[in-house]
A and B are shown apart, each in its own frame.
Chain A
């Protein structure tokens, strides 16, 4: 490979992965630079650097900053390092605002002591360190949302017991979404206020339900996240019980929707018994291969509170010339939302049989550890899974993993249909279509160059009030050749229809099955 490379490690220089993603971007745009990775030297990032042909020095660890650069020549790399210095300097808060100004707090305990009016804490530090920050919050009298994943289950139990003792709530760990009295935490769509309260052991599941309620004019009182493990046998629904009781006592909540994967049976029994004992009706929206999809759950909720269900919108792709192209038979899904991936797999598996995955519906369908999909047939990946996010930002924020994977899947001669989710709202990427649309357009064109027709279906989860602009996002994605659906289940069914359409006939999406 021509040009120059440079790999450096800065011990003990910590920045969060989102900030470093921005720095990486700035350095990568420097003149003459062809590749740049600025990231903490976590095992995943070290591997990523190695994959770029820029192996990290021995002994670099997750507390060290890894800088890996490739450019035209040494001068380009020097220039890149200057950009790096400026970008890093821009990240550091000023050490002191002058006389007497206290330095910024270093622990949640210190921050809580300074903000006496704080009602809540949001913890998104790396998983192994999340327990300490969450305990600080609880001991300061704050309920806490733990966004971090990779938190040991025994620490989750401990945190939730501590919270119960103090009449507080722990949302999480691995809780991506919550709305408390109109304030969205983590990934949260801008939804109108209203009578439906959600209790959710599934972040994107809750987002899908809220977005579809909002599209039918029905608002949300609160969405209390639980974390995906709350209803497991080990955690025993500790937060679910508190959340249900709290929403029952909340005068703004007329209906509670509990969104979750199928709980452990004994936990399900307890939670159902509790739900039945409450004054407020509780609608269980449990996900699973043989269950109703989230769109159906949203419809039921809309109707239960006296609203009028309006079928979720769809946007058709801009036409492109597909004369003479052959359709390959395989469907591949690339998801940022785990629940959306689950739901799509359930829909697809009913029609297509086994769908391989890193979060398989059936253990026999698991992809190998390296997640290679070549020759694997139908497959869907949850790119937001714990194992994919160690030491890096969630794909709803940082789309690099997905963009790489998109190019890879589109090049697979077996692949005829790609299914993606795009999740809007607070906390998510400010303009996902700006990166995805060109990548999709390029993928479709590349496939066409290989004589293949590639169809792309997007499940777009968002509301009209979301900061990214739902309609602009939909228009950009459709303009790049994607069929766009507001209902994830509808998107999955459309993708299945395309994958099962005759191999030579011009494909059109099959008529929508009304949800």
Chain B
């Protein structure tokens, strides 16, 4: 034996193993325990099942893809490295090149016939807002007749909460990733209750949107241009330590944004009544900052796109009918399944029968490792989404089972400042059967209703097995 060479098999025979990881029959783990060997047992379950797909074989194929380890490391590394700065506020027509008669919406593509109530309501309201129709009813006829076009926000580097409808005259936040140079966009948050994104389109909804385009947008533009850029990622990191999870609770984030912009708002030369109303509107809307968290997350997930061989999820989005995901290794392809109805708490006397299936691009927050994945950071939210504090702690910790990394920037104080679970891995979801936990609002099923509640939802399992099948097809032959 040559003493200069290291022990073979990485030292396997040098002495008894300090511990053995066991997956499978508990009796074999017990036999190790009986020999006084520490065991780390895996709580193994069969993988998700899928009609017409040999799931274990597809899993083996994808896991054995020689590109995969490096591809996943690259993709999730980019996701974690991406920054997010608010650099401008502009009309969507200008920022996104959105033309009259064209709208953006949340989730994967959807035809009018399949569109849900809240999405239809939001498109109807937007058509009236743009002067394309005199009444919501007229707008509905035009939309049904194909007079106007609509496309997913995600196809235009944008994200939209709930129905996510963006029309050319609406103003949008423009964020830049200083690391990768990407851009992402999101509308200005309208507040709660009867609002366009929940499918309401009454006169008060449209009046508010007109004021936002005429007053709020330009004021914010001036402030951002004067005081910016605003480091949104830094605010997200801080808000997680102040009891927000960035999806259903954005109170601390909203106030921190205001802190950044207020001096420039006041100093911008606009009438003080406008400034006061803008400041009151923003500070009175705990969700205002959500529309900055979402594009910040979009920058991170977009940075992780298009790495061949990677099974990292780069988008989860719902249009109120279908839930869709996109995966780094499979380009722009959507894997879709029926959107679920969230479970949670209802406003007023609304009940489960009033709720529309899950809708919105806001699951981009979970895709980037916050929201439901950072539930443990937001103990104050758990009742609102129908849970208790233990559920919050368990939820975040369960998500580590399906993610590739832990965020160095976004941390959870109650878990010892552990980084949030980041980077959903299709193979881990399929193997464990653990579905991503999403915190969400609930829109009324009927167009025009608005918000009816908030709660928790998971994607349909089939989107992950469908993505797995595509990854297996794309893997080089063994």
Contacts and interface: CB of A to CB of B under 8 A. Distances in A.
A498 interface: no
A115 B20 CA distance: 8
Contact of B25 (A16, A168, A182): A16
A128 interface: yes
Nearest to B69: A139
Interface stretch (B29-37, B102-110, B131-139, B242-250): B29-37
B42 A180 contact: no
Interface of A: 14, 16-19, 61-63, 93, 95-96, 98-100, 102-112, 114-115, 117-126, 128-129, 131-133, 135, 137, 139-143, 147-148, 152, 154-155, 158, 162, 166-169, 180-186, 188, 221-222, 242, 245-252, 279, 393, 397, 426-427, 467
Given A93-B43, A119-B18, A183-B37, A100 B28 contact: no
Contacts of B69: 139
B332 to A, nearest CB: 28
Interface stretch (B7-15, B217-225, B290-298): B7-15
Interface residues of B, number: 65
Contacts of A245: 8
Contact of A111 (B14, B18, B25, B42): B42
B12 A128 contact: no
23 contacts: A16-B44, A17-B25, A62-B46, A93-B43, A106-B401, A107-B44, A107-B432, A115-B19, A118-B21, A120-B21, A122-B28, A129-B59, A131-B60, A131-B63, A131-B64, A142-B21, A143-B12, A155-B60, A162-B64, A181-B14, A246-B9, A249-B8, A426-B31
A132 B49 contact: no
A246 B8 contact: yes
B265 interface: no
Contacts of A166: 10
Interface string B437-454: 000000000000000000
A107 B404 CA distance: 13
Contacts of A152: 57, 60
B43 A100 contact: no
Given A117-B18, A147-B28, 12 more contacts: A14-B45, A105-B40, A118-B20, A119-B17, A119-B20, A121-B23, A122-B23, A124-B24, A131-B59, A168-B10, A249-B7, A250-B13
B47 A106 contact: no
A99 B22 CA distance: 26
Given A107-B432, A183-B37, A16 B21 contact: no
B35 A148 contact: no
B478 interface: yes
B397 A103 contact: yes
A180 B16 contact: yes
Q: Which A-B residue pairs are the 10 nearest by beta carbons?
A: A124-B24, A119-B17, A128-B56, A115-B40, A104-B43, A426-B31, A106-B432, A117-B18, A131-B60, A121-B21
A252 B7 CA distance: 13
A95 B388 CA distance: 14
Contacts of A141: 10
A183 B8 contact: no
B19 A98 contact: no
B393 interface: yes
A118 B19 contact: yes
B18 A426 contact: no
Contacts of B46: 14, 62-63, 126, 129
Contacts of A102: 397, 400
Contact of B35 (A133, A139, A426): A426
B431 interface: yes
A22 to B, nearest CB: 9
Interface string B377-408: 00000000000011001100110110000000
A109 B427 CA distance: 12
Contacts of B42: 104-108, 110-111, 133
A11 B431 CA distance: 17
Given A100-B414, A139-B69, A63 B49 contact: yes
A267 B54 CA distance: 32
B60 A122 contact: no
B256 interface: no
B23 A111 contact: yes
A119 B11 CA distance: 9
Contact of B44 (A106, A182, A250): A106
Contact of A123 (B24, B45, B414): B24
A100 to B, nearest CB: 6
A182 B37 CA distance: 11
Contacts of B49: 61, 63
A14 B431 CA distance: 13
A180 B398 contact: no
A148 B398 CA distance: 27
A117 B49 CA distance: 34
Nearest to A246: B8
Given A132-B431, A141-B10, A250-B13, A96 B390 contact: yes
B1 interface: yes
B70 to A, nearest CB: 12
